[in-house]
Amino acid sequence: MAKRLAAAEKEVLVEVVRFTQKNGLKGSDGAWKDFLARNDRKFGASVSDPRKRSRDVLLAFLQTFSKDFQKYFGKLVKRQKERSDVQQHMNDFPDQVSPEQKLVQLTAEHPEYRKNYCFPSYQEGWKVLRIGDVSSLVSSSAMLAIDCEMVLCHDGTEAVVRVCVVDNNLEVKLDTLVNPSKAITDYRTHITGVSKKDLEGVTSSLVDVQKSLKRILSKGKILIGHSLYRDLCALKIDCSQVIDTAYIFKYANLPTTASASLNSLCKSVLGYSVREEGEPHNCLKDAEAAMNLVLAKLKHGFNDPIEVAVSGNTGAPALSRTVQSFLWEPQY
């Protein structure tokens, strides 16, 4: 893995350094800016954009991390190479690229993608789903849509308590309750629809769900969801074959970096609401709605900006759920 890191191109090393910034990682000389302040007497940390630093400086910083981290960085380099190979194959053989894969690409091109889909999968308990064969991947049309409900736990984290997955025929592939295995302080029943009584006797764990998802997402299947990064964070699954329904539509009345809620997007695109005001979420219906949005996008295009519903109380756009607290934009 150390050899893979040492042989990586500058563009790849830039992404790895950005990853350390987004996740607040520190080597033996501290974080990225600390490293620059210590080792560059001329500029210090005043020029901290990784793109403006030499390959040697980037590599020297990454080599200040432990062997375990360097091993993980090697995996990041491999994944970046796989993604580059996918993009190159798409450029070389555009006729082989499925419409579904084009939506994966459209998701990855969204200005918020890099920030929100940069997961701390080096941490214990995370699972990384492999890309697989490139030629098979770019022609893949198999899709699954997912939605999760999360509760607030005593340690301040969110934990998954229900997971639903449907295929492109809206056939249910997974619908299970999950035992968080730690104290819950707020079931958020008015939102999740899940109560303490619902979880009595539930033995399925997050690890069990991860195994199920890894099995059904094999062979290049594409995972769909609305603000999907939030579900993946809670599930501790790092998956790059994704379509985020919040990212594949253009909005006429929202900023470029903003996204509409699932409910307001369904009103505009599908002509119906997923839920009435004040009604709790239905995990299965939300997964179905995400799939229907993608199917509508594939069938009708929706290339022009659309108007989305705004909140009746404030007049502000009904925005989707916010990013997890540990995902942040680096400050250069």
Q: What CATH number did the domain enclosing 189 receive?
A: 3.30.420.10
pLDDT tens for residues 119-137? 999 999 999 998 878 888 8
Residue type, position 308, single letter: V
Three-state secondary structure readout of the chain:
CHHHHHCCCHHHHHHHHHHHHHCCCCECCECHHHHHHHHCCCCCCCCCCHHHCCHHHHHHHHCCCCHHHHHHHHHHHHHHHHHHHHHHHHHHCHHHCCHHHHHHHHHHCCCCHHHHCCCCCCCCCCEECCCCCHHHHHCCCCEEEEEEEEEEECCCCEEEEEEEEEECCCCEEEEEECCCCCCEEECCHHHHCCCCHHHCCCCCCHHHHHHHHHHHCCCCCEEEECCHHHHHHHHCEECCCEEECCCCCCECCCCCCCCECHHHHHHHHCCCCCCCCCCCCCHHHHHHHHHHHHHHHHHHCCCCCECCCECCCCCCECECCCCCCCCCCCCC
pLDDT at 327: 30
Does 154 lie in the same domain as 88? Answer: no
- Picking from 92, 117, 151, the residue at the C-terminal end of a domain is 92
Residue 64's φ and ψ, nearest 5 degrees, are -80, -5
pLDDT tens for residues 209-244? 999 999 999 878 999 999 999 999 999 999 999 999
Number of domains in the chain: 2
Does 87 lie in the same domain as 133? Answer: no
Does 293 lie in the same domain as 152? Answer: yes
pLDDT at 311: 53
- Residue 210 domain boundaries: 127-247+277-297
Does 282 lie in the same domain as 153? Answer: yes
Residue 176's φ and ψ, nearest 5 degrees, are -145, 145
Does 200 lie in the same domain as 66? Answer: no
Does 148 lie in the same domain as 71? Answer: no
Does 86 lie in the same domain as 137? Answer: no
Does 134 lie in the same domain as 87? Answer: no
pLDDT tens for residues 295-326? 999 999 999 999 987 654 333 334 443 333 33
Could you tell me if 128 and 75 are in contact, meaning their C-beta atoms sit under 8 angstroms apart? yes
Does 65 lie in the same domain as 8? Answer: yes
Question: Quick check: is 320 in a domain?
Answer: no
Does 138 lie in the same domain as 69? Answer: no
C-alpha span between 317 and 171 (Å, rounded): 32
Does 159 lie in the same domain as 36? Answer: no
Question: Quick check: is 265 in a domain?
Answer: no
Does 289 lie in the same domain as 167? Answer: yes
Query: Which pTM value belongs to this model?
Result: 0.85
Chunked mean pLDDT (size 10), the chain, 332 residues: 85 94 95 95 90 96 94 88 86 92 94 91 91 83 96 93 97 97 93 93 96 90 97 95 96 88 94 85 95 97 86 40 33 34
Give the chain's length.
332
Question: Quick check: is 327 in a domain?
Answer: no
Question: Quick check: is 43 in a domain?
Answer: yes
Question: Quick check: is 44 in a domain?
Answer: yes
Question: Quick check: is 178 in a domain?
Answer: yes
Question: Quick check: is 321 in a domain?
Answer: no
Question: 213: how many CB neighbours lie within 10 A of its CB?
Answer: 23
C-alpha span between 144 and 161 (Å, rounded): 19
pLDDT at 171: 98
